[in-house]
Chains A and B, each alone.
Chain A
């Protein structure tokens, strides 16, 4: 093995080995809070967030060991666990809560008072909204309490639901969790040998330079080069726009790094993408499976942007959103149900072993949280979720809200497993897809009405936050496994601070709502807009026209077909195959293709240079790519926030 240490190892110590310390927790909280505020803004603008793990692990070395001169690897691991536990909730909040703002704004726009205000002002409706977003994009205080309660319940339940799966996913199935591996590489850098540390730094620097060049035009539009999102090979090769061959540029090195760390196993994702993007979507467009009403709409909007390419793009986009993606979400669901069935004995065995470990004094300190704490926490979380539903829409009635909270809680457990499996196998988390299924489930149970949509979105907030927390807990536990942390300490650290993230993100969101109009530039909130649009598709309003009723029915049937295929495939083939193939049909081609490129690079370098080269050079470089892009995004968001604070107004 390579490992000549990077620095001389400090002299042996007789003091207890540092793990949970005030310094580690405080540093984690500080980094987590700053990143939550930053990425609530950035996530609304860009549509994605960056996990705090790697950034805080880097800072941890500087502060704990550099400044305080006493940090240990497992102490720094607690620091990154705490930071990520706070920051991860921002994704759940910004993907779902703006949906409520969008619905409220639509209601306000339809009101007589708004029309009168437009008339009085002499402005267009959009200009009036932009001038006073706080007035028409308003959520009352008691309703904010409902959102806060819902997201808090999600944060706690998300951590508690995933704890029993640790043994199965990390110890036995040995899922990869690429970001967890990358974080562990940073934590262990000081002892992993100069060569690995050097290539980790090379990867970080390359990624910072690349991501900064790509991201700068988003902050300063006057930059002399344009903002690159994707490299559209279809366009360059004169292929139809609905035959997507695209590579991600923004976020590209992260995808390549994730794919490289996953290796050959990740290539299954490419198979699903080929079926989804190169078979299903083209068939829908070319075989006339787009309904005439949708075609007419596409032609109408295409008239504003004439050109064959633009029209093909819209046709492809309709097919992806309304056919390929629902089939993929269904497969994710079916594959996950099958995975749960297949691994149920392991889950119960894990719970039993946790109980036994607790009971046995001879095995030393307990490795996992006590089951009674877990059961009590789940019961409390359910009650808070029920209270959130009641606060949000008391007119629905206690029994129906109780049923909705129960359905959401059970689904949250399953969704947590789905997202943890996809994160473990591919590093991708389909959070907004899980939010969408939540809304579908709740509206199926409650039927469509104003109050039921509110309750459904509140439950979706909880599920989205919970799945984020659950997958982050698993990533952190994977990191912890690789550095030898005690799982119970990590679980306690995560639970102790998980409540902070949703509240910080929510307060930030409320402040931003006073200045910016969600859904409009610069805070376009793409996931929230997609969920808002999907609500009308999966549960059309009672006064919806016949076409939208048929579209809703067709979408539900696609979920059903996907679920059936995912169920049979995973029960028969095992290995979570349905989950990964479903995820590939859900993700944009640019992400999947770039990720697969990383997997292929792993295979190629393994064949050319051997396993040692992959371990000593390839993996550290790939981990550096993941870290550098995250660091760069943090800095760019900080600059953007400072620019907005100084000059105000949209970018």
Chain B
């Protein structure tokens, strides 16, 4: 059993003990409640240790859900979006909607799917710094999809263009987290 799962089970046991202590009549058994809180404390300690430990490989050996997958997906998203913008004027709207779905699946979903690993490695604030602009870009891409499905090309194009700076901003925030400018954006490497 890995540490993360162990922490989870310890939390459940601690909570159950606390609740049993609180269920007695006419007043809670405070000793049992405190034991339960102590078990919860053990769970917190195990979880912290698990958070510090190296990422565990998934059963199938894939990187899905890992921070590395998010770092790899960001250029796919950024480059794909730029390429889509360049060709969107001429593409049939059906193909445009399909291309937007691909960007969602291969780019945004992969970055968002790495939430747990991202937060574990770098904390919540850096994760939020990436996700806030990324989610705004995502919403604009959804709008582009809706407009394309409704047959409204001008709105679809405007929404794709509006999404680009937000996605770029998310990429820059991810660069700051990795400490490797240029890894996730197309800006030239710094000297």
By a beta-carbon cutoff of 8 Å, the part of chain A in contact with chain B is: 1, 3-5, 9-14, 17, 72-74, 167-168, 170-172, 174, 188, 190-191, 271, 275-276, 279-280, 283-284, 287-291, 323-324, 327, 330-331, 342, 345-346, 349, 353, 364, 367, 480-485, 550, 553-554, 557-558, 561-562, 564-565, 568-569, 572-573, 577, 581, 585
Which residues of chain B have C-beta atoms less than 8 A from A554's C-beta? 25-27
Which residues of chain A have C-beta atoms less than 8 A from B78's C-beta? none
Query: In whole angstroms, what is the CA distance A572 to B40 when docked?
Result: 8
Q: Is the interface of A mostly helix, strand, loop or mixed?
A: helix
Distance in angstroms from A574 CB to nearest chain B CB is 8
Given contacts A482-B142, A565-B15, contact A188 B149 (CB under 8 A): yes
Of A73, A284, A364, A568, the residue contacting B146 (CB under 8 A) is A73
Is B159 close to A, CB under 8 A?
yes
Q: Determine whether the beta carbon of B11 is less than 8 Å from that of A573.
A: yes
Is B107 close to A, CB under 8 A?
no
Given A17-B150, A485-B143: 16 more A-B contacts, CB < 8 Å: A4-B94, A5-B149, A13-B154, A73-B146, A74-B143, A172-B128, A172-B131, A367-B136, A484-B145, A484-B146, A484-B147, A557-B22, A565-B15, A572-B11, A572-B41, A572-B43
Given contacts A172-B127, A172-B128, A327-B22, contact A13 B151 (CB under 8 A): yes
Is B73 close to A, CB under 8 A?
no
Query: In whole angstroms, what is the CA distance A564 to B24 when docked?
Result: 16
Is B140 close to A, CB under 8 A?
yes
- A-contact 0/1 string along B29-51, CB 8 Å cutoff: 00001001100110110010000
Q: Determine whether the beta carbon of A9 is less than 8 Å from that of B148.
A: yes
Interface segment out of the listed B79-87, B97-105, B178-186: B97-105
Query: In whole angstroms, what is the CA distance A9 to B145 when docked?
Result: 12
Tell me how many residues of B have a C-beta within 8 Å of chain A. 63
Which residues of chain B have C-beta atoms less than 8 A from A481's C-beta? 135, 138-139, 142
Of A73, A291, A364, A485, the residue contacting B162 (CB under 8 A) is A364
Query: In whole angstroms, what is the CA distance A346 to B7 when docked?
Result: 26
Pairs across A and B, CB under 8 Å, 5 listed: A4-B94, A5-B94, A191-B146, A280-B23, A561-B22
Query: In whole angstroms, what is the CA distance A558 to B30 when docked?
Result: 11
Q: Top 6 A-B pairs ranked by shortest CB distance?
A: A484-B143, A191-B149, A561-B22, A171-B135, A572-B44, A484-B142
Q: Determine whether the beta carbon of A568 is less than 8 Å from that of B47.
A: no
Query: In whole angstroms, what is the CA distance A561 to B142 when docked?
Result: 45
Of A1, A480, A553, the residue contacting B102 (CB under 8 A) is A1
In the complex, residue of chain B having the shortest beta-carbon distance to the beta carbon of A612: B105
Distance in angstroms from B108 CB to nearest chain A CB is 10
Q: Is the interface of B mostly helix, strand, loop or mixed?
A: helix
Q: Determine whether the beta carbon of B19 is less than 8 Å from that of A327.
A: yes
Given contacts A1-B105, A573-B44, contact A167 B132 (CB under 8 A): yes
Query: In whole angstroms, what is the CA distance A483 to B144 when docked?
Result: 9
Is B125 close to A, CB under 8 A?
yes
Is B152 close to A, CB under 8 A?
yes
Which residues of chain B have C-beta atoms less than 8 A from A74's C-beta? 143, 146
Is B93 close to A, CB under 8 A?
yes
Distance in angstroms from A197 CB to nearest chain B CB is 12
Q: Determine whether the beta carbon of A172 is less than 8 Å from that of B135.
A: yes
Q: Determine whether the beta carbon of B145 is less than 8 Å from that of A1.
A: no
Is B28 close to A, CB under 8 A?
yes
Of A191, A484, A568, the residue contacting B40 (CB under 8 A) is A568
* Central interface residue in B14, B105, B152, by most chain A CB within 10 Å: B152
Which residues of chain B have C-beta atoms less than 8 A from A581's C-beta? 15
Q: Determine whether the beta carbon of A290 is less than 8 Å from that of B147.
A: no
Q: Determine whether the beta carbon of A170 is less than 8 Å from that of B94.
A: no
Query: In whole angstroms, what is the CA distance A554 to B26 when docked?
Result: 6
Is B69 close to A, CB under 8 A?
no
Distance in angstroms from A305 CB to nearest chain B CB is 25
Of B21, B115, B128, the residue contacting A346 (CB under 8 A) is B128
Query: In whole angstroms, what is the CA distance A327 to B24 when docked?
Result: 11
Q: Determine whether the beta carbon of A170 is less than 8 Å from that of B135.
A: yes
Given contacts A291-B25, A482-B142, contact A3 B19 (CB under 8 A): no
Which residues of chain A have C-beta atoms less than 8 A from B27's C-beta? 553-554, 557
Q: Determine whether the beta carbon of B139 is less than 8 Å from that of A561.
A: no
Of B21, B94, B125, B155, the residue contacting A561 (CB under 8 A) is B21
Q: Determine whether the beta carbon of A484 is less than 8 Å from that of B144.
A: yes
Q: Determine whether the beta carbon of A291 is less than 8 Å from that of B105.
A: no
Q: Determine whether the beta carbon of B23 is less than 8 Å from that of A323.
A: yes
In the complex, residue of chain A having the shortest beta-carbon distance to the beta carbon of B140: A484
Distance in angstroms from B57 CB to nearest chain A CB is 19
Which residues of chain B have C-beta atoms less than 8 A from A485's C-beta? 139, 143
Which residues of chain B have C-beta atoms less than 8 A from A287's C-beta? 24
In the complex, residue of chain B having the shortest beta-carbon distance to the beta carbon of A281: B23
Is B112 close to A, CB under 8 A?
yes
Q: Determine whether the beta carbon of B12 is less than 8 Å from that of A275.
A: yes
Query: In whole angstroms, what is the CA distance A482 to B142 when docked?
Result: 6
Which residues of chain A have C-beta atoms less than 8 A from B139's C-beta? 480-481, 484-485
Query: In whole angstroms, what is the CA distance A564 to B40 when docked?
Result: 11
Distance in angstroms from B131 CB to nearest chain A CB is 5
Given contacts A1-B101, A275-B12, A554-B26, contact A568 B142 (CB under 8 A): no
Query: In whole angstroms, what is the CA distance A168 to B127 when docked?
Result: 11
Query: In whole angstroms, what is the CA distance A241 to B37 when docked?
Result: 31
Q: Determine whether the beta carbon of A191 is less than 8 Å from that of B145.
A: yes
